[in-house]
Amino acid sequence: MVFLGGFALATLPTVLRRRAGGVYLRPEGIEVSGGPMGGFVAWDDVEALDEREVRGNRVLEIRAFDPSRVETSAAGSVLRGINRPFGFHSDLSVAAISLEADLDTVMAAIQHELLHPEHRERLGTPESLVDLGLTEGSPSR
């Protein structure tokens, strides 16, 4: 019980901030924010992308080839270790309801960047929105 109380205290600042969750595609990798399972993983370290339903909510899960290469908080590392025996093998995750964009759109954008590493340097530019099919123009596939 002391351990769970300590974990609750470790995650309290995140809860109090009530930040919306986010998924940020950067030329270097994927950043997930908005909870203790947030962090950063480089593109080449992404093994799998999945969606899970947890208590009626859709959750984006990202799994790395080597979890030790995921940059996350101490609370996130502890939570990953606790979750693995229960079948949750994601290294980063965020609830769909906390995202500003639709989860299917976010997943499609990540899949696109995984398949097209040559486009990653353009992330954050107007050209990347065309690449991802988020604005008018023909996506370069």
The answer to whether position 58 is within a domain reads yes
Is residue 73 included in any domain, yes or no? Answer: yes
Q: How many structural domains are present in the chain?
A: 1
CATH number at residue 78: 2.30.29
Q: Which of 40-49, 59-68, 98-107, 127-136 has the lowest mean pLDDT?
A: 127-136
Task: Give me the phi and psi of 94, to 5 degrees please.
Answer: -155, 140
Residue 139 lies in a domain: no
Task: Output the furthest CA–CA distance in the chain (Å, rounded).
Answer: 56
pLDDT digits (tens, 9 = 90+) for 30-64: 999 977 788 999 999 999 999 988 888 899 999 99
* More confident call, 16 vs 107: 107
* Residue 91 tokens, joined: 């290294």
Question: What SS3 class is residue 50?
Answer: strand
Residue 41 CA to residue 63 CA, distance in Å, equals 9
Could you tell me if residue 137 is inside a domain? no
Domain residue limits at 47: 2-131
Strand order in the sheet with 92-95: 46-54, 57-64, 92-95
Domain presence at residue 16: yes
β-sheet bridge partners, residue 130: none
